[in-house]
């Protein structure tokens, strides 16, 4: 019906003088955009099904394909942009909540891009990382307040469990179920080779991946899927997920059709049943309740593993972080509003939460002011896109960063943002066996390893330029940062000076 029609967002442009009708595009498109007409011996396309994942473009052997944004246009104005108009039409058609995937796409400020990094000139020497040692290793966990000695004067080991990382980056939580077996295997394998950690998300740990335990963070979320003694014992650290940056305040929902075979067994729920993670943990209504869960998990693992509490960056995040630090958690993970997701209600993804840069600076300052900064490590996530974002985060007080979207891009993701359909052509956000096999974990792990190795080189270069030779010396070193295009208030919250000052 005409009133329901929405013109397709993308157009498939096929250069007929280059197309050899090999039908690779047709075989590779799970959305069934391409088809072959044997009478005319030409390829046809139905662009209304195209999500612009670029799979066909990437595999076309003669570069005959490109996907372009349709220029069919509404009569937009500054207030009524075409996305807004389309959303109204969609809701008028369906009566439902709009769903989206990946992070907040709105034109909200990216503070990383307004922060500039210092370098040494003349009076203090810069360091060449190719000639001199440069330490990128970090330890996450509570640090002792003082040195204690026994009667003989020897130093007592009063160090609580620490998470050792070769560089201040980890792969953040993505559950088995929301992403595929091969995507998980790629992350686990790469984390092990890199000496960092990946995170199971809330879907439990597949039995094949227990071997990667020393580089695994096991998550306990509100649905408690797949949580049992062996699972907790398997990981290097345990993460309690209170919130997620892409959808603060709400839970998760993995549709029953994705709960098949191993996903069902790993989550320990029947096949075909919806996996619903409640919005709150039903046993946590206060910091005291959180403390009970933190200590239950520590008790269950003989106090051998650090416990992480992950929260979304929201308005009173500094006070929340202070509470978490007092709950006995060893590490606080804060997820900013640009963080990704397999599926979230569009309105929540686009309007709830605050930028991670401000949340990080506020939490670091608050914890220092209260004298409890050394009781916890701070990990931040929510669209850390590059080595310079990592450097800026560390200088604002972070102990390490969580990356997920960048990791998925390394695996082939083209940010088409239709994870919720389960038809991921790159074999990442899908459980369909014929699509899952498209991601060979050998290639996946190699590409993740390459990406992180590249970042490590860049981190060393940037640190060297500042005349700093270890992450420890950069942490919270706000003198290395300057802001541009920011108000006094923004600079005050970040605790940095304006460029030129």
Partner 1 sequence: MKRVVVNEKWCLGCHLCEYNCAFSNSGMKDMVKALKGRDIFPRIRVEDGGDITFAVSCRHCKDAICVKSCISGALSKKDGVVTIDKSKCVGCYTCILVCPYGAITNDGEGAVQKCELCLSTTAGTPACVAGCPNRALTLDDDDIETADARG
Handedness of CA 86, 90, 91, 97 (dihedral sign): negative
- Which of 22/372 has CB closer to partner 1? 22
Minimum distance, C-beta of residue 193 to partner 1, in the bound complex (Å): 17
Find the part of the chain contacting partner 1 (CB under 8 A) among 13-21, 118-126, 233-241, 288-296: 13-21
Minimum distance, C-beta of residue 367 to partner 1, in the bound complex (Å): 47
How far, CA to CA in Å, does 391 sit from each of 27, 212, 469?
Answer: 43, 28, 13
Q: Is 18 in the site for partner 1 (CB under 8 A)?
A: yes
Minimum distance, C-beta of residue 175 to partner 1, in the bound complex (Å): 23
Gap between the Cα atoms of 357 and 242, Å rounded: 20
Gap between the Cα atoms of 78 and 198, Å rounded: 42
Q: Is 178 helix (H, G, I), strand (E, B) or coil?
A: coil
Phi-psi region of 397 (alpha: psi -120 to 50; beta: other; left: phi over 0): left
Among 23, 106, 145, 149, binds partner 1 (CB under 8 A): 23
Gap between the Cα atoms of 225 and 206, Å rounded: 12
> How many binding residues for partner 1 (CB under 8 A)?
23
Q: Is 314 in the site for partner 1 (CB under 8 A)?
A: no
Q: Is 24 in the site for partner 1 (CB under 8 A)?
A: yes
Strand order in the sheet with 331-335: 169-171, 400-403, 377-381, 331-335, 307-312, 237-241, 216-220, 198-199
Gap between the Cα atoms of 312 and 338, Å rounded: 10
Minimum distance, C-beta of residue 404 to partner 1, in the bound complex (Å): 23
Residue 436 CB burial class (10 angstroms; 0-12, 13-18, ≥19): middle
Among 10, 36, 49, 59, binds partner 1 (CB under 8 A): 59
Q: Is 31 in the site for partner 1 (CB under 8 A)?
A: no
What is the footprint of partner 1 within residues 440-469 (CB under 8 A)? 440, 442-443
Minimum distance, C-beta of residue 270 to partner 1, in the bound complex (Å): 25
Q: Is 206 in the site for partner 1 (CB under 8 A)?
A: no
Find the part of the chain contacting partner 1 (CB under 8 A) among 23-31, 46-54, 160-168, 192-200: 23-31
- Which of 194/435 has CB closer to partner 1? 435
Gap between the Cα atoms of 110 and 105, Å rounded: 11
Binding mask 35-54 toward partner 1 (x if CB under 8 A, else -) reads ------x-------------
Gap between the Cα atoms of 179 and 161, Å rounded: 30
- Which of 43/343 has CB closer to partner 1? 43
How far, CA to CA in Å, does 406 sit from each of 229, 325, 386?
Answer: 32, 29, 8
Instruction: Please name which of 298, 288, 311 lies closest in space to residue 362, comparing C-alpha atoms.
Output: 311
Among 1, 2, 5, 17, binds partner 1 (CB under 8 A): 17
Gap between the Cα atoms of 191 and 403, Å rounded: 12
- Which of 62/158 has CB closer to partner 1? 62
- Which of 151/434 has CB closer to partner 1? 434
Q: Is 268 helix (H, G, I), strand (E, B) or coil?
A: coil
The partner residues of 310 in beta bridges, in order of sequence, read 241, 333
Q: Cα–Cα–Cα angle for 418, 423, 429, nearest 5°?
A: 70
Beta-sheet pairing, 99-100 with 115-117 = unpaired
- Which of 55/338 has CB closer to partner 1? 55
Minimum distance, C-beta of residue 32 to partner 1, in the bound complex (Å): 15
Minimum distance, C-beta of residue 17 to partner 1, in the bound complex (Å): 7
Contacts of 164 (CB under 8 A, 6+ apart): 137, 138, 139, 195
Gap between the Cα atoms of 253 and 267, Å rounded: 13
Minimum distance, C-beta of residue 255 to partner 1, in the bound complex (Å): 23
Q: Residue 185, Cα to own-chain centre: how many angstroms? A: 17
Minimum distance, C-beta of residue 41 to partner 1, in the bound complex (Å): 7
Phi-psi region of 412 (alpha: psi -120 to 50; beta: other; left: phi over 0): left
Minimum distance, C-beta of residue 423 to partner 1, in the bound complex (Å): 15
Q: Is 151 in the site for partner 1 (CB under 8 A)?
A: no
Q: Is 62 in the site for partner 1 (CB under 8 A)?
A: yes
Among 9, 10, 22, 83, binds partner 1 (CB under 8 A): 22
- Which of 305/438 has CB closer to partner 1? 438
What is the footprint of partner 1 within residues 414-443 (CB under 8 A)? 433-434, 437-440, 442-443
Minimum distance, C-beta of residue 419 to partner 1, in the bound complex (Å): 20
Gap between the Cα atoms of 408 and 451, Å rounded: 11
Handedness of CA 100, 105, 108, 111 (dihedral sign): positive
Q: Is 128 in the site for partner 1 (CB under 8 A)?
A: no
Minimum distance, C-beta of residue 438 to partner 1, in the bound complex (Å): 6
Q: Is 85 in the site for partner 1 (CB under 8 A)?
A: no
Residues that bind partner 1 (CB under 8 A): 17-20, 22-24, 27-28, 41, 58-59, 61-62, 64, 433-434, 437-440, 442-443
């Amino acid at each position: 019906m005409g009133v329901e029609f929405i013109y397709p967002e993308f157009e498939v442009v096929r250069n007929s003088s280059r197309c050899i009708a090999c039908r690779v595009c047709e075989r590779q498109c799970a959305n069934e955009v391409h088809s072959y007409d044997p009478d005319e011996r030409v390829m046809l396309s139905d662009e209304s099904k195209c999500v612009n994942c670029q799979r066909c473009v990437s595999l076309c052997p003669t570069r005959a394909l490109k996907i372009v944004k349709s220029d069919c246009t509404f009569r937009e104005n500054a207030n009524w942009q075409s996305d807004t108009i389309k959303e109204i039409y969609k809701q008028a058609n369906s009566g439902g909540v709009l769903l989206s995937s990946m992070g907040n796409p709105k034109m909200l400020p990216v503070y990383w891009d307004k922060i500039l990094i210092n370098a040494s000139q003349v009076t203090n020497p810069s360091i060449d990382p190719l000639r001199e040692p440069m330490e990128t290793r970090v330890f996450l966990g509570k640090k002792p307040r003082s040195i204690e000695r026994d009667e003989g004067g020897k130093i007592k080991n009063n160090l609580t469990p620490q998470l050792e990382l070769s560089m201040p980056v980890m792969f953040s939580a993505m559950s088995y179920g929301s992403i595929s077996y091969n995507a998980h295997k790629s992350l686990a394998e790469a984390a092990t080779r890199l000496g960092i950690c990946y995170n199971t998300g809330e879907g439990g740990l597949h039995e094949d991946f227990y071997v990667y335990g020393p580089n695994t963070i096991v998550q306990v979320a509100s649905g408690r899927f797949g949580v049992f003694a062996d699972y907790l014992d398997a990981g290097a650290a345990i993460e309690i997920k209170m919130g997620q940056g892409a959808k603060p305040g709400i839970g998760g929902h993995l549709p029953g059709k994705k709960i098949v075979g191993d996903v069902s067994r790993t989550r320990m729920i029947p096949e075909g049943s919806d996996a619903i993670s409640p919005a709150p943990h039903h046993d946590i209504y206060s910091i005291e309740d959180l403390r009970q869960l933190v200590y239950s998990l520590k008790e269950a693992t003989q106090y051998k593993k650090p416990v992480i509490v992950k929260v979304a960056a929201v308005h009173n995040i500094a006070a929340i972080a202070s509470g978490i630090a007092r709950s006995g958690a060893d590490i606080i993970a804060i997820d900013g509003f640009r963080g990704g997701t397999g599926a979230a209600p569009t309105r929540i993804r686009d309007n709830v939460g605050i930028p991670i840069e401000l949340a990080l600076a506020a939490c670091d300052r608050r914890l220092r002011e209260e004298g409890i900064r050394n009781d916890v490590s701070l990990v931040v996530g929510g669209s850390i896109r590059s080595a310079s974002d990592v450097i800026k985060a560390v200088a604002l007080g972070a102990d390490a960063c969580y990356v997920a979207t960048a990791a998925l891009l390394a695996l082939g993701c083209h940010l088409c943002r239709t994870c919720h359909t389960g038809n991921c052509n790159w074999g990442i956000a899908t459980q369909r066996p014929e699509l899952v096999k498209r991601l060979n974990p050998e290639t996946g792990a190699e590409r993740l390893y390459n990406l992180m190795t590249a970042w490590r080189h860049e981190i060393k270069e940037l640190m060297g330029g500042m005349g700093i030779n270890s992450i420890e010396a950069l942490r919270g070193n706000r003198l290395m940062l300057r802001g541009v295009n920011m108000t006094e208030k923004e600079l005050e919250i970040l605790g940095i000076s304006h460029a030129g000052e």
